[in-house]
Chain A
Amino acid sequence: MTVTALPGAAGRSRRATLRRNFWRGVWRVLRRKPSRMAGVAICALFAVMGVAGPLLYPAHLPRDDDALYAPPSLSHPFGTDFEGTDVLALVVTGSRYVLLTGLATAVITVALGTAVGLFAGFRRGWQDTLLMRLTDLNLAIPGLPLLLVLSTVWKFESPLEMGLVLGLLGWGGIARAVRSQTLSLRERGFIEAARGLGLPTTHIIGRELLPSMAPYIAMNMLIAVTGAVYAQVGLFFLGVLPFEANNWGVMLNLAVFSGGALTTPAALPYLLAPLLAILLLTLGIVLVVDAMDEIFNPRLREE
C-alpha cells in the first residue's frame, strides 16, 4: 500500500526503539513465569562460579585426613571426598574446566555450523554440494564412539582442546539448519532484494541474514553448552579421558568407581554434588531456552 522511506536519523531512532521494545519484551516474558527468572539467575550463578569460583579457594584445597567421606555438615555442605576435601569446593573449582569446555564447544560448534551453513546456502552450486557432503559426513560419524577412540590418541590437556574436538564433531546439525534457513530467506526474496539495492555481500550476511537467524543460533549455542558438558563429563565418568584437573566428571568417576557411591550411602554426597550441579545447570539453561523460545518464536506465545 504505502511505502514509507525512512530517513537515516529516523531509522536509527526506530532501531533504538525496537531495541528498547525488545528488552521490554524480554523483561515481560521473564516476568510472566518466575521460573524463567530462576533460570537466568542459575545461569548467571554458574557463570560467576566459573569465572570467580577458583579464586575463592587456595590452589591446593585443604584436606582433613580425619574426615574421609564425612557426611554433610555446616562446614562441609556436601560432605568430603576420599581424602577429606570439601566436596562443595571441588564442585566450585571444578566448574571452570567444565564450563570453559562447554563454552568453547558451543562457540566452535555455532561458529563453524553457521559459517558453513550460511556459505553453502548463500553460494549454492558446487560449493554448497561439497559443504553439504562434508556435513553429511560429519553427521554420519558416530560421535561418542569416535571420542572414545580419539581419547586414546589425543590428550585433552586443556578445556579448549576438549572443546575444539567436541565442536569439530558437532557442527553438522547447525550447518544444515542454517543452510535451510538461508535458502528459505533466499526464497522469500530477501537476498535478491538486498542485491538489487546494491548492498555488498558482507552487509547482506551481516545485517540481513544473521540477525534474522540470531535467535535460532543463540538457542543452539545454549543447547550446545549442555551437550558439551554432558559429553565431557560422561567421558570423564567412563574414565576414558586422562585427567589432571579436578572436574565434575572426575568426581563422578571417583565417587562411583572408587567410592562406591552407588553401593553405599557414605560417598553419596560426593556423587550427588556434581550430579546436582549438572541438573541445576541443565535446569537453568532449559528455562532460559524456554524463555528465548517464547521471545523469538511468537507462535508459542499465547497472546
Chain B
Amino acid sequence: MERHLTAPGVRIRGLTVVYNTPSGELPAVSGVDLTLAPGTITGVVGESGSGKSTLALSMLNAVQPPGRISAGSVEIDGLGDVVRLRGEELRRTRGRKVGYVFQAAQNSLNPLKTIGAQLLDLGRSHDVGDLRALVRDARELLGRMGMDGARVLDSRQHELSGGMRQRVGIMFALVLDARVVVLDEPTTALDMITQATILRIIREVHDERALTTLVITHDVGAVAEVADDLAVMYGGRVVEHGPVAEVLGAPEHPYTRGLIRAIPRLSGDLGLARALPGRPPTLGTLPAAGCVFRERCESSLDLCRTAEPVPAARAGRTVACHLPGPHAVPVKRKEYA
C-alpha cells in the first residue's frame, strides 16, 4: 500500500457541540480529541445518539441548528481550523477540500435535475474553469466504480439504485479532488453484496488518491473491513481509539466489549451474542457527572459515579475508563489522542 505524500492530517481538539433544547443547551459531543493520521481510514462507531454524525458534520463546520460548535477546533493540514471558517471561505472548503458522502439510504441528489446538471452546478460553484474536464473526470470516476459514466450523468436520482446513488455520492465528494473525505454511514440500507462493493471502492479510491478518510458507521463489521484505525463513541465522547485490529481484537473499554459481543459475526459464537443492556442515552438522559456509560456498565466502580474518566493511553490506544484494563501497559498518549 503506497501512501501519497500529500495526504493531509486532521486534528480534532476539545470539540464540543451543543444542541439548544427547551431544557437548555445540551452537549452532543463533548471535548472530543481525535487525530486522523494522514492517509489513513479512521472508522467511528457508536450507537445512534452517540454523537458520531455530529462529529462528522463538525468536520465541515456544518452542524445544523439548533446545534452549534461551542468549543474546540478541527485542524486540517493546509486549511487551518475549519471551525473558524465562515461564509465564502467555508463554502469553498466544502466539496473542494473536504468531501462528504451521505448515508446511502438518503436522497442526497436533487430529484429534479440530472446528475450531469448537478455536476455542472458543482463546477460553477467552485469556479472550475474547464467544465468539460470536470465531466470527463466524473465519467472516469464513475467508470472506475464500475458504472457507465455517460449514462449515469444523464440520469436523475430516481432512475438509480441505492448502490448506484452511493457511488454517485462518492463521485461528487471526490471529483473536485478533495483530500479529506467524510463518509456518513456509507453502507447502511444496502444489500450485502453492494455493501461489499462500496467498501472495496472506498478502500481502493482512498489508496489511489492519497486521502485521509473518516467513515462513520454503526456497523462494526463494515468498519473492520475497511478502516485502519477505529474510534468508539459513546454519549458524545470517544471512549476508545486505536488501530482497528487491536481495538476489535482486544477491546479495553467495557462499552467496546459490549458492542462487539452484540455482533455474532465478530464474537464468533452465535450463542454468546447478546445485546447491550439498557438503552442508548439521549441528549437529555446523559448523567451529569461521572462516567457516561456507568449505568449500562457491567463492572462500574464507585468512582465512576463521581469522576469522569479522562482518556488515557494504554495497550497501544487511548481509552477513557477508570477500570484498569487487562493490558495495563502505558503507551505514549501522543499517538492516538
Contact = CB atoms under 8 A, between A and B. Distances in A.
B66 A302 contact: yes
Nearest to B23: A28
B309 to A, nearest CB: 27
Given A32-B22, A303-B20, A303-B21, A2 B66 contact: no
Contacts of A303: 19-22, 66
Nearest to B47: A1
A198 B66 CA distance: 44
Nearest to A4: B275
A1 B221 CA distance: 12
A5 B20 CA distance: 35
Contacts of A4: 275
A2 B22 contact: no
Interface in A248-303: 302-303
B262 interface: yes
Q: DSSP majority for the B interface?
A: loop
B65 interface: yes
Contacts of B22: 28, 31-32, 303
Q: DSSP majority for the A interface?
A: loop
Interface string A222-258: 0000000000000000000000000000000000000
A127 B115 CA distance: 41
Contact of B275 (A2, A31, A302): A2
Interface string B12-37: 00000001111000000000000000
A32 B275 CA distance: 37
Interface in A1-51: 1-2, 4, 28, 31-32
Interface residues of B, number: 8
A32 B20 CA distance: 13
Interface string B261-297: 0100000000000010000000000000000000000
A265 B19 CA distance: 54
Contacts of B65: 302
Interface residues of A, number: 8
Contacts of B66: 302-303
Interface string B128-165: 00000000000000000000000000000000000000
Contacts of B275: 1-2, 4
Which of A4, A31, A303 has its CB near the most chain B CB atoms (within 10 A)? A303
Interface in B306-332: none
A252 B22 CA distance: 44
Contacts of B262: 1-2
A207 B282 CA distance: 29
Contacts of B21: 303
Nearest to B65: A302
Nearest to A302: B66
A298 to B, nearest CB: 14
A302 B65 CA distance: 8
A48 to B, nearest CB: 30
A222 to B, nearest CB: 25
Interface string B107-120: 00000000000000
A27 to B, nearest CB: 11
Nearest to A2: B275
A5 to B, nearest CB: 12
Contacts of A32: 22
Nearest to A31: B22
Nearest to A1: B262
Contacts of A1: 262, 275
B204 to A, nearest CB: 28
Interface in B226-273: 262
The 5 closest A-B pairs by CB, nearest first: A2-B275, A303-B66, A303-B21, A302-B66, A28-B22
Interface of B: 19-22, 65-66, 262, 275
8 contacts: A1-B275, A2-B262, A2-B275, A302-B65, A303-B19, A303-B20, A303-B22, A303-B66
